[in-house]
Amino acid sequence: KNEVEQSPQNLTAQEGEFITINCSYSVGISALHWLQQHPGGGIVSLFMLSSGKKKHGRLIATINIQEKHSSLHITASHPRDSAVYICAVRGNNRLAFGKGNQVVVIP
Amino acid sequence: DTGVSQNPRHKITKRGQNVTFRCDPISEHNRLYWYRQTLGQGPEFLTYFQNEAQLEKSRLLSDRFSAERPKGSFSTLEIQRTEQGDSAMYLCASSPKIRQGSETFFGQGTRLTVV
């Protein structure tokens, strides 16, 4: 079993819909990252959090340390949000990654 | 500072050839990481450096792979006698000295195709 599990693997939404993607992990961590990867491969860090909730624009990330679970919410989704969203957890001096959530937003 | 820079962005090579990739981390970031990502998978840890010292290597890093960071600044990842299974995106990342709030910054990656 992977240290980091993400769900759903694939998600398609209509423009404007509220999107939630989830990440569960099985190890102790010092921080959790949500990353965005577009076709072509480059990775952009969206959030790093170790407790509670963070908001940036239309994106909201939450983490529940006790339940070892994090969610990324996209409000008023837009086609430019189409990407792979990767959850990564920091432990033992390095990051362990999930496989990613493939999100497609249709106009 | 323009962030983490990787070169080349793309590399196509014939099986059996050697390839070398370069990563320039953000200035004064003393931690540098190499990850490998195959199609449809999340990145997997390969190795990391603190300054010039290579502190950890994954079992994924066979003896055909070698990484260096000679002056604690840029790093190179060399693959000798490439195999088709080496085809992947090779990602470099850097961070300041680890503490609770340290952010990790990623490069654009080098996509290797072995034909």
A53 at B interface, C-beta within 8 A: no
Strands A83-91 and A94-97, bridge-based pairing:
antiparallel
Span B34-82, pLDDT tens digits: 999 998 888 999 999 999 999 988 888 889 999 999 988 999 999 999 9
Span B80-113, pLDDT tens digits: 999 999 999 999 999 887 654 567 889 999 999 9
A40 at B interface, C-beta within 8 A: yes
CA distance A87 to A24: 9
Inter-residue contact B92 to B4 (CB < 8 Å): yes
What type of residue is A55? Answer: K
What residues of A are in contact with residue B56 (Cβ under 8 Å)? 93-94
Distance of CA A20 to the CA centre of its chain: 9
pLDDT at residue A1 in the model: 60
DSSP string, B54-105: EEEE-TTS-TTEEEE-TTSS-EEEEESS--GGG-EEEEEEEESS--TT---E
Nearest neighbour of A45 by CB, restricted to B89, B91, B103: B103
